[in-house]
Amino acid sequence: MTEEEKNVQKRKLMPLSNSESLLFFFLPFRFSGRAKWENNDYNTSEIQRFKKYGFDLKLKQAKQLTVYGRLFYLSLTIIIIYFVK
């Protein structure tokens, strides 16, 4: 196995960094409403990049963090509605 192949395998097994994780958690929704701005959506472009280059671990973590972020905002909304009454 060449050095380049080792580096490719190592990159495929690397987890998301802390800053990437936070972005997927706190910005789980697509904020751009127009199709022409779709390339500006960070999560969509990063998930497409993970698929293109075969970063399976990062793809799995990104999808999980997006779900957790949506659940976080849903629970936060429910808590706020409960205490406003």
Give the per-residue pLDDT at 31.
61
Phi, psi of 23 (to 5 degrees): -65, -40
**Mean pLDDT of each 10-residue bin along the chain, 85 residues long:** 84 89 86 57 86 91 93 95 88
- The token duo for 60 is 């799995």
User: Pick from 33, 34, 16: which is nearest to 25 by CA?
Assistant: 16
Give the per-residue pLDDT at 33.
57
Q: Return d(Cα 83, Cα 9) in angstroms, integer.
A: 50
User: Pick from 51, 81, 73, 52: which is nearest to 63 by CA?
Assistant: 51
Confidence (pTM): 0.79
Give the per-residue pLDDT at 85.
73
Continuous H helices in 1-85: 3-12, 18-26, 42-53, 56-84
Give the per-residue pLDDT at 81.
95
Condensed to tens digits (0 to 9), the pLDDT of residues 4-25 reads 888 888 888 889 999 999 989 9
